Amino acid sequence: MAVSCTKTDLGSDQKLTLRQSVENNVNKVNNALTKISQTKGFQLLSINEGSLKSANSYSDSITLKLIAGIYTFQPDTANRSVHLNTCRLFKKTGDSEMLIVNLPQKLIFHPRHLHNFNPLDSTLKNDFKITATDYHFYYSRWDQYDYKISAGFNLDTANLGNLDLTSGANPTSGYTWSSKYSFTGGYNITVSGQTGDTTRMAFSLSNRTETLLKETVTFVRSGFRITERQYVLSIGNVDIKRSSGIDSIQVYLNGVLQKKAGAKIIESANDEGSICHSRDIQLTFDDGTTINLSTLIQPAMTTLKTLVNSLHSMYFAKNIVDYIAINIYYYSH
C-alpha cells in the first residue's frame, strides 16, 4: 500500500522541519474542522436521536425511477398503513427525473417528528429540500443488497452540501461502503471500508484537492484471529506508518524516512485501530521532545469523531432519506 498520495509540488512546505510541518498541517486540520462544525451540514451529520423506526426493515428493491418526482410534505391522516405504522406523508406536486422532496426543517433536524408523526404546527413551512440525483436500494435474500444515494440539501436558499454514499453486501465480497459529504467552502470528508479475510477501513479530510488528514488501517483474518497488518496516518505531508514485520513505527516527511524521529501508538484493550475511537499517537521529534496527537487536534477531534462515526453508520441516509423514500414508494405502488 502506498504511504499516501504522491506529493509533487510542495512549495515552501518542503523547507519546514518535521515539527514545523506537523504544526502547520495540524493547524489546517483544526481550522477545517472548526469551520465545518459551524455549518448546517455538520448539524445534519450530527443528528442522532437514538432508536428510530429503521427503513431497512422494509425488504424490497427501490430505484430512483419508481419514486422520481417533486413531493411536498402534506400528511394524509386518512391514508394510513399498518405495515409502515404511519400515514402517507408526502404528496406528489410535480414531475422530475430526480427525487425532490420539500418538508419542514423540524422533521430533518429532529427526525423523531418524522418517524412518530403527530399533527404539527400548521404554520411550519416546507423550507428544507432534498434533491436526489441518484438512488437505488436493491435487496435480496440473506441480507444481500446494493445501495446508492447522491443527494444535495438546501435550507431555504442556502446550500448545505452533498452526500454521496454507496454500500453493498454479498457472500463473496463481504460488506463494502463509501460515504462522502461535501461541505460548502470546499471541505469534504470520506469514510470507506470493506470486510472479509482482509478488512480495510479509512477516512480522509480534504480541502478541495488537498488531503489534510487521512487514516487507513488494514486487518487480516486467520481462523478466528484478526491481526492489524498495516496502519498509515497522513497529516498533510507527514506520514506515520506501522506495518507487520517492522519493529518500529516509521515517520516520513515529504516521502523521506525521518531516522531521528519516531512515533508510539497508544491504545486501549478495546481499540478499533483508529484515532476516532481510543487510539492516540505520541510523536517524537528530532530534538527528543514529544507530543500526543490528541493534544494537537483539540477540541476539533470531537468534531472529527462525530463526522466519521455518522458517515460510517449512515445514520442520516438510513433514518431520514430512506424513510422518506420508502414512504413515497409504498403509497405510490
Residue 92 lies in a domain: yes
Q: Within a domain: residue 6?
A: no
How confident is the model at residue 1, as a pLDDT? 32
Say how far apart CA 26 and CA 183 lie, in whole Å. Answer: 20
Q: Can you give the pLDDT at residue 59?
A: 60
Domain count, the chain: 1
Asked if residue 73 is part of any domain, the answer here is: yes
Which pLDDT score, from 0 to 100, does residue 209 have? 92
At residue 215's C-alpha, the angle toward residues 214 and 219, to 5°, is: 155
- Distances in Å between the Cα of 152 and the Cα atoms of 24, 209, 297 are 32, 20, 29
Q: pLDDT value at position 268?
A: 77
User: For each successive 10 residues of the chain (333 residues), what is the average pLDDT?
Assistant: 40 78 97 96 88 54 95 87 79 97 95 82 88 92 85 96 94 88 96 92 96 96 85 97 84 95 85 87 94 94 95 92 93 85
Q: How far is CA 81 from CA 173, 313, 324, in A?
A: 36, 28, 14
d(CA 116, CA 163): 25
Predicted local distance difference test score (pLDDT) of residue 235? 97
According to the model, what pLDDT value does residue 170 have?
A: 83
pLDDT of residue 280: 94
**What's the rounded Cα separation, in Å, for the pair 4 and 22?**
16
Could you tell me the residue range of the domain that residue 182 belongs to? 16-332
Residue 3 falls inside a structural domain: no
Radius of gyration of the chain from its Cα atoms, rounded to whole angstroms: 22
Does the residue 87 lie in any domain?
yes
Q: Is 122 a member of any domain?
A: yes
Does residue 240 contact residue 249 with C-beta atoms inside 8 Å? yes
Please indicate, yes or no, whether the overall pTM of this predicted structure exceeds 0.85: yes
Q: Is residue 257 part of a domain?
A: yes
Q: Is residue 2 part of a domain?
A: no
